[in-house]
Structure 1
Amino acid sequence: MTQPLFGTAENARVNGRGPAIWLAGDPEDLPEWLDRGAAGIVTNTVVLNDMVKKYGQLTGVIQRYLDITDKPLVVEIDGHSTEELLDVGEVFTKMSDQIILKIPASTDALGAFAALKAAGVPTFCTTVFTLPQAAAVAQAGVTHVLPFCEPFNDVGGDPTKLIRDCREMFDGWVERPFITAALVRSVDTADAALRDGADGIIVFWPVFRDMMQSHLTDEWNKTFLGEWNSMHEAGLLDGVPVR
Structure 2
Amino acid sequence: MATQNGTSAKLTEPLFGTAENARMTGTGPAIWLAGDPEDLPEWLDAGAAGIVTNTVVLNQMVQKYGQITELTQRYLDITDKPVVIEIDGHSTQELLDVGEVFTKMSDQIVLKIPASTHALGAFAELKKAGVPTFCTTVFTLPQAAAVAQAGVTHVLPFCEPFNDVGGDPTKLIRDCQEMFDGWADRPFVTAALVRSVETAEAALADGADGIIVFWPVFRDMMQSHLTDEWNKTFLDEWNSMNDAGLMKDLPVQKH
Category of TM-score, reference length = shorter chain = over 0.9
Deviations 1:77-105 (A, max 9, x none): 00000000000000000000000000000
Aligned amino acid, residue 249 of structure 2? G
User: What is the rounded CA distance, in whole Å, between the counterparts of 2:163 and 2:16 in structure 1?
Assistant: 32
Give 1:51 shift.
0.4
Residue matched to 1:221: 231
What one-letter code is carried by the residue in structure 2 that aligns with 1:179? V
Q: How big is each residue's C-alpha offset from its partner over 1:123-171, in whole Å with a ceiling of 9 and x where there is no partner?
A: 0000000000000000000000000000001100000000000010000
CA contact (8 A) 1:72 1:98 kept: yes
- Aligned residue for 1:27, secondary structure, equals coil
The residue aligned with 1:58 is 68
For 2:177, the aligned partner's letter is R
Q: Partner amino acid for 1:144?
A: H
- Report the CA distance between 1:3 and its aligned residue: 2.7
Letter in 2 for 1:123: T
Residues of 1 paired with 2:169 and 2:184: CA distance? 26
Residue 21 of structure 1 corresponds to which residue in structure 2? 31
Structure 2's unaligned 5+ residue stretches are: 1-10
Please, what is the CA RMSD of the aligned residues? Answer: 0.7
**Aligned match for 1:151, one of 161, 172, 175:** 161
2: CA distance, partners of 1:11 / 1:154: 34
Give the superposition deviation at 1:4. Answer: 3.5
Q: Is this contact kept in 2: 1:100–1:121, CA < 8 A? A: yes
Distance (whole Å) between structure 2 residues aligned to residue 166 and residue 4 of structure 1: 20
User: In structure 2, what residue type is equivalent to 1:65?
Assistant: Y
- CA contact under 8 A between 1:5 and 1:122: conserved in structure 2? no
Match of residue 246 from structure 2:
236
Q: Which amino acid aligns with 2:51?
A: I
Aligned to 1:203: 213
Secondary structure of the residue aligned to 1:66 is: helix
Inter-partner Cα distance in structure 2 for 1:57 and 1:73? 17
Residue 81 of structure 1: aligned partner: 91
Give the Cα–Cα distance (whole angstroms) in 2 for the partners of residues 26 and 16 of structure 1: 30
Q: Which moved more, 1:84-93 or 1:231-240?
A: 231-240
Could you tell me which amino acid in structure 1 is paired with residue 66 of structure 2?
A: G
Report what 2:151 is aligned to: 141
Supply the distance in 1 between the matched residues of 2:94 and 2:27 (Cα, whole angstroms): 37
**1:185 aligned counterpart, secondary structure:** coil
The 3-state SS of whatever aligns with 1:197 is: coil
The question of whether the paired residues in 1 share the 8 Å contact of 2:54 and 2:86 is answered with yes
Q: How many Å apart are 1:2 and its aligned residue?
A: 4.1
1:71 aligns with 2:71: no
Question: % of aligned pairs identical?
Answer: 86
AA partner of residue 76 (structure 1)? E
How far off is 1:242 after superposition? 1.1
How many residues align? The count is 243
Which of residues 83, 104, 110 in structure 2 aligns to 1:94? 104
Find runs of 4+ consecutive structure 1 residues off by over 6 angstroms: none
On the 8 A contact 2:37/2:78 being kept in 1, the answer is yes
